[in-house]
Amino acid sequence: MRTLPRLLLMIGVVIAALAPLAGSAAAQGTTPTDDEVNAIAKQLYCPVCENIPLDVCPTQACAQWRDTIRLKLAEGWTERQIKDYFVEQYGARVLATPPAEGLNWLVYILPPVAFLAGAFLLFRALRSWRRAAAAAPAAPAATAASEDPYVRRLEDELRRDG
């Protein structure tokens, strides 16, 4: 009966000794998937092949860049760190969305400003058209129509038939 506690103790010691190894094996096994790599790659553009996002660019240069992303992810780098690394290496132009600084601000400010200005102009134009329509003399037309003998006769006929 004394062998059971001893056996349990030995198993406990063995598990305790192997636990760190199991942990490191698990850490080494976290190879980034293509989806994880492409999630970052699609936010980057290689200057060699402009207008083609990195995740779909077929050139060797872009393949090397994707390998770099995979390597950095495997090393535990975050998305922000990887993007910062690429900016440092190749310049801010590799980013799909330019950082909001300097003249880049125009990219973020101009579209909403242009939209609001367009909406304002449209509102003013519509308002002036409605005012003009309301102020237009409708009576003279009716008067002119009733003065026309043919129209008057037609209206009389219609009234009589109706």
Partner 1 sequence: MTNMLPEDAAAPRAKPRWGVILVWVGVLGLLALVGVGLIRTQQGPVGVGSKPAPFTLRTFEGAEVNTADLIGQVVVINFWASWCEPCKQEAAELEQAYQQYKDQGVAFLGVNYVDTEPEARAYLEEFGITYPNGPDLGTRISQAFRIRGVPETYILGPQGILAEVKIGPYTSLDEITRSIEAARTSQP
Sign of CA dihedral 136, 137, 139, 145: negative
Residue 38 neighbours by CB under 8 Å, 6+ apart: 55, 66
Q: Which of 44, 45, 57, 65 binds partner 1 (CB under 8 A)?
A: 65
**Rounded CA separation 107/85 (Å):** 23
CB 132 to partner 1: min, Å: 20
Contact call for residue 88 and partner 1 (CB under 8 A): yes
State the maximum Cα–Cα separation within the chain, in Å, rounded to a whole number. 129
Determine the number of helices (DSSP H) and then strands (DSSP E) in the chain. Answer: 7, 0
Contact call for residue 48 and partner 1 (CB under 8 A): yes
Contact call for residue 122 and partner 1 (CB under 8 A): no
* Structure letter (DSSP) for residue 22: H
Q: Which stretch binds partner 1 (CB under 8 A): 32-40, 89-97, 130-138, 154-162?
A: 89-97
Contact call for residue 59 and partner 1 (CB under 8 A): yes
Contact call for residue 25 and partner 1 (CB under 8 A): no
Report residue 102 CA to chain centroid gap.
21
**Rounded CA separation 89/69 (Å):** 13
Question: What x/- string results for residues 94 through 113 when contact with partner 1 is judged by CB under 8 A?
Answer: ---------x--x---x---
Q: Which of 12, 23, 47, 111 binds partner 1 (CB under 8 A)?
A: 47
* Structure letter (DSSP) for residue 134: H
Contact call for residue 127 and partner 1 (CB under 8 A): no
| Contact positions vs partner 1 (CB under 8 A) | 46-48, 59-61, 64-65, 67-68, 87-91, 93, 103, 106, 110, 117
